[in-house]
Amino acid sequence: MTRPRLSVLVNNYNYGDFVGAAVESALADGVEVVVVDDGSSDHSREVIESFGERVIAVFQENAGQAAAFNAGFAASSGEIVMFLDADDMLAPGAAAEIVAAFDEPGVAKLHWSLSEIDRDGNVTGELRPEVLMPAGDLRRRMIEHGPLGHSNPPTSGNAFARSVLEQMLPMPEDDYRICADAYLVMLASLYGELRRSLVPLSFWRRHGDNRYNGTRETITERVLADLRRYDVLAATLAVHLEAQGVHAQPELWRKRNIGYRRLDRIRTTAAEIEQVVPEGGTFVLVDDGDWEQGHLENRDLMPGRTAVRLFDGTTLAEPPAERALLDEIRRLAAAGASHVVFVWPGSWWLQHYPAFEGYLRAHGAPIGGTLLGFTLRAGAATEPTPIGRLPRDADLPTRRERLRLLDRQIDDVRATITELEEALR
């Protein structure tokens, strides 16, 4: 029997409402479809069995995504293998495009951004992720930067050469019960070149119950989980590099790796915010949406505290007028926000609006430490306290405190002048 060029492995767990559409999208001439059900308790088995001999069905006790990947790969025979999440779908004509990409020798993986659809299968117009996928020989980058060294799509946006997967599978099942795709996309770069399709070849379904993106963890909880997962990935990568005779440098990876540094920056800053903002409190987070990107979107920031954003997080067509910004920070303070915190890349607000910073200094106080931020006081500023003359023998700390008070009053006057100028325009 002739080996099929492409095997599509559908991994399913309690996605009975979607797995049928996933399988239907993959059934095409010359395509082998393997469906692995990882111990579902819904009606998934009935749906899968309805396809009869058109698919290779594997039913197992719940053991996690890595175990499903291992079982599906063992049951498949295609020269090219694609893993398809059961709530996603293959795009029409995708199989032919995938096969054609592997006609070139030395290709380890083809990847692409996915077209987003809603629960009912309607295209939303969004891409997952909204970045251009890398291509070429990325092995050196992986050696130098480690895990998360370059962008990758989720599970259903990748196809692999079987010869490459044979060097990577079976994967450790306990370490990768979820996010098993991270293991595959990371290691693929060590075993050949990457190719990209500029056209989405599959659909990523947003339905609110997505196993990874749909969980209800807060941003801080997810970041901590991602940092633990990074450590697992780094250990895995080091093993494969050492097997190839390459000395791994995990400590250097942490310093160089943009993905790790971003996660660690969020973790550290969030921990500092927890020390400053009382439990049950509200604060203004100025991050220009960075902390909501990717899988961190639509999540609360941290347990016990509420983060609000300038202009309710609305993407503005252009920077607002300074008066509008001052009105907004007053509104948030009056609504109960006790602090405003600026995190990368949001610090530009203070540079672009010097009177805004002057207002914050005049109506509050710097948080101090490594956090860039201020306390907020609702209501109008109090009248400045008159500052008397310093005695000639005043010590240096007293003189510094006097200068601090003068700077604060000057900032208050500047902010008031700016407000008056805006009102007169």
What backbone phi and psi angles, to 5 degrees, belong to 364? -160, -150
Q: Categorize the per-residue pLDDT at 406 as very low, low, confident or very high, splitting at 50, 70 and 90.
A: confident
With beta carbons less than 8 A apart as the criterion, state whether 85 and 156 touch: yes
DSSP conformation class of 134: P
Give the percent of the chain with pLDDT over 90: 69
- The CA dihedral of 157, 163, 167, 170, to the nearest 10 degrees, is 60
With beta carbons less than 8 A apart as the criterion, state whether 18 and 87 touch: yes
With beta carbons less than 8 A apart as the criterion, state whether 202 and 88 touch: yes
Strands, E assignment, 177-260:
193-196, 202-205
Mean pLDDT of the chain: 89
Span 92-101, average pLDDT = 96
Q: Which tens digits make up the pLDDT trace of 149-199? A: 788 999 999 999 999 999 999 999 999 999 999 999 999 999 999 999 999
Span 129-144, average pLDDT = 93
Q: Categorize the per-residue pLDDT at 386 as very low, low, confident or very high, splitting at 50, 70 and 90.
A: low
What is the chain's alpha carbon radius of gyration, rounded to the nearest angstrom? 27
Q: Which tens digits make up the pLDDT trace of 5-43? A: 999 999 999 999 999 999 999 997 679 999 999 999 999
Q: Which tens digits make up the pLDDT trace of 320-372? A: 998 899 999 999 999 999 999 999 889 999 999 988 998 898 888 999 888 99
DSSP conformation class of 315: P
Token pair of 390 as six digits: 């310093």
With beta carbons less than 8 A apart as the criterion, state whether 115 and 204 touch: yes
Q: How many residues does the chain have?
A: 425
Domains of the chain in start order, with CATH, are 6-205 (3.90.550.10), 277-386+411-424 (no CATH)
Q: Which tens digits make up the pLDDT trace of 353-364? A: 988 998 898 888
Span 101-130, average pLDDT = 95
Q: At residue 415, does pLDDT exceed 80?
A: no
Write the Ramachandran bin of 396: left for phi over 0, alpha for psi from -120 to 50, otherwise beta.
Answer: alpha
Cis status, amide bond into 319, omega within 30 of 0: no
Q: Categorize the per-residue pLDDT at 380 as very low, low, confident or very high, splitting at 50, 70 and 90.
A: very low
3 state DSSP class of 324 = helix
pTM: 0.79
